């Protein structure tokens, strides 16, 4: 079965290890449910999303962590992306990861209280970055449990984001277009691509 790029397998592996969904509560903004009736997406009317797994306090913390994990650490954009809904849906659907997510949130809160005197939610946006810094860098020694939790959390956040329309647009994902001819490298005079202009490096 030549032609199966590693990336498809990889995303499935990631999703399999990260979380799963056993039921579909209906996301409020960025997901349409498809009943597989015809090739037409059956849109579920937006509804107030009620967390399926996390408590209200946990859910708020999840939302903030999602913003910080993959978006802007100091400028909340939760209402735009709603990745917290995706995370809750996935965790609610996968009993195998629920313990780790719940204890991970608890552990992070405990560390914040021990080191900064406040729970994570009570910290200012600027202060909230400091407990995450050691967790987000593999090379740094630190709390192994919290780092594993944050790694899993970051992973599921990225899945939620980069399978969303806004994630595609941010990458300028080529699947947003179709092509009349097989696209060809435009740098024929530079086969090793050693002299490309650096537009975003």
- Binding positions for other proteins, 168-187, rule CB under 8 A: 168, 170-175, 177-185, 187
Q: Which of residues 115-154 bind other proteins (CB under 8 A)?
A: 129, 132, 136-139, 150-151, 154
Contact 145, 99 (CB under 8 A): no
45/193 with CB nearer other proteins: 193
Distance, in Å, from the CA atom of 17 to the CA atom of 163, rounded to the nearest integer, reads: 17
Alpha carbon 38 to chain centroid, angstroms: 30
**By CB under 8 A, which span of 51-59, 99-107, 113-121, 163-171 interacts with other proteins?**
163-171
Q: Which of residues 81-120 bind other proteins (CB under 8 A)?
A: 93-94
* Minimum distance from residue 175 beta carbon to other proteins (Å): 6
User: Residues binding other proteins: what is the number (CB under 8 A)?
Assistant: 81
Contact 84, 92 (CB under 8 A): no
Distance, in Å, from the CA atom of 153 to the CA atom of 12, rounded to the nearest integer, reads: 16
Q: Which of residues 8-27 bind other proteins (CB under 8 A)?
A: 8-12, 14-16, 19-22, 24
21/116 with CB nearer other proteins: 21
Distance, in Å, from the CA atom of 86 to the CA atom of 21, rounded to the nearest integer, reads: 10
* Minimum distance from residue 171 beta carbon to other proteins (Å): 5
159 binds other proteins (CB under 8 A): yes
117/183 with CB nearer other proteins: 183
Residue identified by tokens 């530079």 is 190
Q: H helices within the chain, ranges in order?
A: 6-18, 56-70, 78-81, 83-92, 95-116, 125-132, 144-162, 165-171
60 binds other proteins (CB under 8 A): no
């Amino acid at each position: 079965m030549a032609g199966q790029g590693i990336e498809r397998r990889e995303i499935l592996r990631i999703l399999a290890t990260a979380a799963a969904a056993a039921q579909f509560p209906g996301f409020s903004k960025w997901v349409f449910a498809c009943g597989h009736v015809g090739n037409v997406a059956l849109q579920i009317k937006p509804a107030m999303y009620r967390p399926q797994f996390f408590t209200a306090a946990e859910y708020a913390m999840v939302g903030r962590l999602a913003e910080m994990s993959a978006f802007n650490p100091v400028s909340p954009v939760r209402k735009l992306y709603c990745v917290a809904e995706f995370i809750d849906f996935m965790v609610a659907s996968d009993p195998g990861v629920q313990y780790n997510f719940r204890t991970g949130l608890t552990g992070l809160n405990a560390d914040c209280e021990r080191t900064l005197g406040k729970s994570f939610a009570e910290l200012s946006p600027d202060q909230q970055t400091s407990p995450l810094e050691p967790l987000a860098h593999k090379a740094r020694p630190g709390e192994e449990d919290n780092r594993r939790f944050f790694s899993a959390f970051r992973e599921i956040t990225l899945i939620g984001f980069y399978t969303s329309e806004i994630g595609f647009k941010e990458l300028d994902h080529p699947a947003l277009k179709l092509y009349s001819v097989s696209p060809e490298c435009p740098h024929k005079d530079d086969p090793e691509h050693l002299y490309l202009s650096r537009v975003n490096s």
